[in-house]
Each structure stands twice: as C-alpha cells, then as structure tokens.
Homo-oligomer: A and B are copies of this chain.
Amino acid sequence: VPASHYAISQFLARLQMSTALSLQEQQAVLSLSWTEVEHQAHSQIAHPGDTVDRASLVAWGMVARFNIMRSGERGIAALYLPGDMADLHSVVVPTISWGLTALRKTTILHIPHRQLQDIASTYPNLALAFWRDTAIDASILARWVVNIGRKDALARVAHLLCELGLRFERAGHGRRCNYAISLTQAQVADATGLTAVHVNRIFKALKDEGLVSLQDKNLAIHDWDKLAHTAEFSRGYLLALGGNDPNS
C-alpha cells in the first residue's frame, strides 16, 4: 500500500524538519504499524469524551479539531493536513475533549499509542520530537487565539490562507501561492470565528483587490507579500519549517 507508506515517511520527514534523527530512530518510525481508515466528507472521526488507544495520522484529505456550542454553532480550533498527526497529544492524554471531523474525503492511519510510547521510551530523541510536535501544534493554536481575538475579518481570512499555503507546501501538496484549499466557505468561517456569509464577502474583497483568485478549489495567491501584510503574517510560529528560510 504505497500511499500509506508515503504518509508515514511524510510524518517522518516532518519530524526531521525540527529534529535530527539517527538512522535507528528513523527506522523505528518507519516500522510503525497502522490501520488504514477512509472517511467521507463531514463524517466525524472522534467524539468528545472518547478514550482512544491510537493516534490518527492524516494520510490524505483534511481533518479539523472542533467543538459544538449549545447553540449548534461549530468552532474549529485546528486543521490537520496530510503528514500531520491530528491527535498526537492523545498518546499522553488519551481521553479527548474535542471532536475530530473529516472536512473532505480523508484517509487516516491509526497508529497504536503503545507503539509510539515504546519508541519514545527506547529513543529519548524521539520523545523530544513528539513533544516538539505537540509544542508546534500549541504554537499554532496560540496564534489563532490572538488572530481571532484581535484581528478583523479580512486579516483573519488572509492569515489562514497564508498559513495553509506554507503548510501545504511543506506537506508537498502544491506551492504556498498556489494550492488546493479544499475548504468550503462555511468551514473557513468555523475556523476564523466568522459566518459563512461574511467569509464570502471577504473572499470577494480579496479577489476584487487582486490578491487572490479561486477557481474550483484552487487558490492562487497573486501577491504573497501584500496578503501577508494585510494578515500580519509572520511565519515564525510555524517553526519546524526549517527556520533557515528567512522569508518574512
């Protein structure tokens, strides 16, 4: 099953962006076993209160970490792309307090917690790498908090587009200025704390200013610097992109 193997090696590549791993350590990651699961768009993968014994690696598609409010509104706290572990934290906190949902047709690899714990215990360096991955997750969450709390709608949407550009590029899915954003406007709204209607208007504004264009689901960013400026985007918080690239 080459696609699955690819996902594991992509996960390994991601860890190696921020952590130097020995050959043995790399081998330990590649020798993880998994179960492959398909999810349709909008299908829920995990429910608040679930206690899980395996982590979910996104092999293809897109996954969101979300909560439902009493009013029925949904809030998305985090997005996970191919190569991301959507719930690596569950290894150390197995009872989850949020939901996971597939935002589109998605392939997930379930990896037993036990195996991750084992290789983390055997190779302290891998334990650090996993910890680091969770820290990067937290760094993105922290950025979202201030974005949603202190920026206007235009900047929030622009920021999301910039972030996804870099993350898709890192994941090997397109380039930062030209990628397949597989999100509906309602999903963008849930991730930015806006309404679908207003996201639509913001997209219109971004198009009218010539900053981006969108055909089918392919986003083209025509002026990265300008978009990043309106978003007040600085890539520092995405660490592990190989901080060597000094852009912005």
> How many angstroms from the CA of A50 to the CA of B47 in the assembled complex?
38
Interface size on A, residues (CB 8 A): 57
* Smallest Cβ-Cβ distance to A144: which chain B residue: B145
A75-B146, A150-B193 as given contacts; A139 in contact with B66, CB under 8 Å? no
Q: How far is the CB of A192 from the nearest CB of chain B, in Å?
A: 7
What does the 1/0 interface line of A127-167 toward B look like (CB < 8 Å)?
Answer: 11011101111110111111111110000000000000000
Q: Are A77 and B142 in contact, CB atoms less than 8 angstroms apart?
A: yes
Task: Tell me the A85-114 residues at the B interface (CB within 8 Å).
Answer: 89, 91-93, 95, 97-98
What does the 1/0 interface line of A210-235 toward B look like (CB < 8 Å)?
Answer: 00000000000000000000001010
Q: How far is the CB of A79 from the nearest CB of chain B, in Å?
A: 11
What does the 1/0 interface line of A178-205 toward B look like (CB < 8 Å)?
Answer: 0000000000001011000000000000
Chain B residues near A120 (CB, 8 Å)? 124, 127-128
Interface flag for A121 (CB, 8 Å) = yes
Q: Are A89 and B135 in contact, CB atoms less than 8 angstroms apart?
A: yes
> How many angstroms from the CA of A74 to the CA of B149 in the assembled complex?
9
Q: Are A73 and B150 in contact, CB atoms less than 8 angstroms apart?
A: yes
Q: Are B232 and A132 in contact, CB atoms less than 8 angstroms apart?
A: no
Interface centre among A95, A134, A149, by most chain B C-beta atoms within 10 angstroms, is A149
* Smallest Cβ-Cβ distance to A234: which chain B residue: B97
Q: Are B236 and A97 in contact, CB atoms less than 8 angstroms apart?
A: yes
> How many angstroms from the CA of A78 to the CA of B137 in the assembled complex?
14
A95-B243, A239-B93 as given contacts; A148 in contact with B145, CB under 8 Å? yes
Q: Are B139 and A48 in contact, CB atoms less than 8 angstroms apart?
A: no
* Smallest Cβ-Cβ distance to A149: which chain B residue: B193
Interface flag for A170 (CB, 8 Å) = no
Q: Which 3 A-B pairs have the closest CB atoms?
A: A149-B193, A75-B146, A141-B141
